[in-house]
Amino acid sequence: MESDILVVDDSAAIRKILQRVLRQTGMAIGTVYEAGDGQEALDVLKAHKIDLVLTDINMPKMDGIQLLGAIKAAPQWSGMPVMMITTEGGETKVGEAVRLGASGYVRKPFTADQIKEKLAGIVELAVTL
Amino acid sequence: MNLQEVLPQSMTQATRQVFSTMLGVEVEVLDTLVEKSLPESTDGLVSFIGLAGSWAGTGSLACSKALGCLICSKMLMTEATSIDEEVLDAVAEITNMVIGSVKTELESIVGPLGLSIPTVVFGRNFTTKSAGTADWIVVRFRCEDETLSVKMCLAPTEKITHVIPHSLGQTCAVDM
């Protein structure tokens, strides 16, 4: 079964790279939706059934931490895996994301293999739950 | 903290890692220098990103139009020949990654720092000027026959001493 994925980042360049990387993972991927900030992401989540969210943290309007909080607070989305992709390497933001229920994180700059490895773990976990 | 010792090494390492990982391009250090905060005339692309916390300031990348197009082409695997939204976005994201990596290293020394959303400017013969008085640490790189300048300007934020009176000779550890 194919997974529909939502990529959230204020950089169109990063969204484009992630689209390419996701297609290279060999995973069964359906539609890859895009959003430029947390608010846009919530609009996509309301309109489509999404299986996995990849989100940046540092974004205008609604950042990735606020988006993660909104997803985990909504009963219809709370079980959805959310992976953070961020330049934030400090314990503060990443620790907050993990406490809020993030399934994992990848630091920018990233390689395609790092994304693939993290996604494999998250998908495996989602299947066993 | 001696910024002139910590920052150049961190800026060099971050730039090398970001360019190698995201663009598949190796950069070579040309020189490291300290610049006064004087108005500077520029051609090409300049990006800025703000840092705030117990230390505050700005990180910046400056490069030619040709290098901006190369960054975009390598990053997105397309052919960029003129400055457009994609090129500006690619340079902004590279700035975010380079200065973000330096920020992460600095946080182990100075505590948590916030990072702003980057801004990129493109033009000819424009002038930039920082309102701050701190010197800029500049590391210049050779990148595919073009020059890339990575700059950072950081200073401790002012501490406000509190006004609660104490008896003579009593010390207080509280800073506000």
| For chain A, domain boundaries | 3-128
Tell me the shortest Cα–Cα distance from A30 to chain B, in angstroms: 22
User: What pLDDT, on the 0 to 100 scale, is given for residue A124?
Assistant: 61
Q: How far is B175 from chain A (nearest CA, A)?
A: 22
**Mean pLDDT: which of A116-120, B15-19, B33-37, B75-79 is highest?**
B15-19
For A66-125, write each residue's pLDDT tens digit. Answer: 999 999 999 999 999 999 998 876 667 888 998 999 999 999 999 888 898 888 877 665
Q: Of A10, A13, A87, which has the smallest distance from its Cβ to B101's Cβ?
A: A87
Q: A71-84 in b/e burial notation, b at 16+ Cβ within 10 A?
A: bbeeeebeebbbbb
Dihedral sign, CA of B63, B80, A60, A20? Answer: negative
Residue B38 has which token pair? 């004087």
Do the Cβ atoms of A7 and A45 come closer than 8 Å? no
Domain boundaries of chain B, sorted by first residue: 3-156
Q: How is residue A115 written in tokens?
A: 């994304």
pLDDT, residue B25, reads 95
CATH architecture group of domain B3-156: 3-Layer(aba) Sandwich (3.40)
Nearest-5° Cα angle at B122, B118 to B124: 145
Q: What is the pTM of this model?
A: 0.86
Q: Which CATH number fits domain A3-128: 3.40.50.300, 3.40.309.10, 3.40.50.2300, 3.30.70.100?
A: 3.40.50.2300
CA distance B57 to B33: 17
CA distance A83 to A95: 13
Q: What is the pLDDT of residues B121-160, one digit of tens each?
A: 999 988 887 777 788 999 999 999 999 999 999 988 865 4
Least confident of B2-6, B50-54, B79-83: B2-6
